[in-house]
Amino acid sequence: MSILKLGSKGDEVKKLQEKLGLTADGAFGPKTDAAVKEFQKKNNLEVDGIVGPKTWNELNKIIDKPVSSGENKEKYPKMQNPKQYVHIIINYGHSEKTPGKCSPLYSTLSKTDQRYFQQYPQFGKDRYYEWMSNRVIGKQITASLKERGWMVDEIMQVSGNGLTEINTATKKYVKEYGSSNCIFISIHSNAAPAKDNGWANAKGWCIYTTKGQDKSDKLADCIYTYADEYFVKEDGRNIRKNTTDGDPDQESNFSVIWNAKQLGIPGVLTENFFFNDIDDLKYLVSEKGQNSIVRTHVMGIEDYIYKYMVRTMK
């Protein structure tokens, strides 16, 4: 992102104006200047009207409006509000009793790296635990969706052998709300075969669907679009293509999306970067990484709903 100020022009100015809720004409004039200063004041930043890295960092926490909702509103003037009937079922993968699913101890790292990870005790104090992380991230996604007016049901696994528990809960919700009203998403992070010191060298975000083409692939495509936007274009991270169906390492995780398929609802499982790759883990626990993960899920889910779940009023 460039440094923007009074007189700047172009697409980045448009983006800035969209974030601030202004008309996006791409010209940084007095109105934009005033809005930037107001924003800086609210966020305890230096009030100079100059949009540098610190201001961008705060601005990027604002989630963009869904792209397709406007288009669809024009296409379907008598559209029912999907926020009144769509139920988003979110599973925070794993319970604290799930064995493994953690990084090597932070004490195996350099002092600098240890200090870095100690800033994020919510992911585990001595090492990263996937179940804690899935909840930290999942709850932020839930909060963001709820803030935007969506109905969300959380499935938090408590037993060690939790797949049945997750599948039973999903079935209960689908029975209650109807299969045409539900979406299922399971939040995870990935691990790769470890080298001698326990850490691995594998990078990237990915998403799993069940085999064959169904609604899940459409949902995955919608989320993938935003993954490309936020992870790759904005943050310079890797994403892995959705060609991973049937990977034996993910067999147990597939159970929850297979269950969704049997229930007739779109279901995906996201692997939010590799927790035993030091570089991926640094990004995954950072505010920037979490913010991009949340935005990718929220925007992708909304996009799917507005593209495939809208109904006209009778």
Judged by the rule CB under 5 A, the positions of this chain that interact with Zn ion are: 93, 188
SS3 108: helix
Q: Is 265 exposed, middle or buried (0-12, 13-18, 19+ CB in 10 A)?
A: buried
CA 77 centroid distance within chain: 30
- Which C-beta is closer to Zn ion: that of 93 or that of 266? 93
Rg (CA), the chain: 21
H or E element, residue 216: helix 215-227
Q: Are 224 and 153 in contact (CB under 8 A)?
A: no
- Which C-beta is closer to Zn ion: that of 113 or that of 245? 245
In the complex, the smallest distance separating the C-beta of residue 183 from Zn ion, rounded to whole angstroms, is: 19
- Which C-beta is closer to Zn ion: that of 49 or that of 93? 93
- Which C-beta is closer to Zn ion: that of 87 or that of 188? 188
DSSP 102: B
In the complex, the smallest distance separating the C-beta of residue 148 from Zn ion, rounded to whole angstroms, is: 26
Would you say the C-alpha torsion 108, 113, 115, 119 has a positive or negative sign? negative
In the complex, the smallest distance separating the C-beta of residue 162 from Zn ion, rounded to whole angstroms, is: 11
In the complex, the smallest distance separating the C-beta of residue 61 from Zn ion, rounded to whole angstroms, is: 26
Q: Are 150 and 55 in contact (CB under 8 A)?
A: no
- Which C-beta is closer to Zn ion: that of 93 or that of 138? 93
Pairing of strands 182-190, 87-92: parallel
- When CB distances to Zn ion are compared, the closest residue is 188
- Which C-beta is closer to Zn ion: that of 162 or that of 300? 162
In the complex, the smallest distance separating the C-beta of residue 57 from Zn ion, rounded to whole angstroms, is: 29
In the complex, the smallest distance separating the C-beta of residue 286 from Zn ion, rounded to whole angstroms, is: 20
Three-state SS sequence of 262-283: HCCCCEEEEEEEECCCHHHHHH
CA–CA separation, 224 and 129 (whole Å) = 25
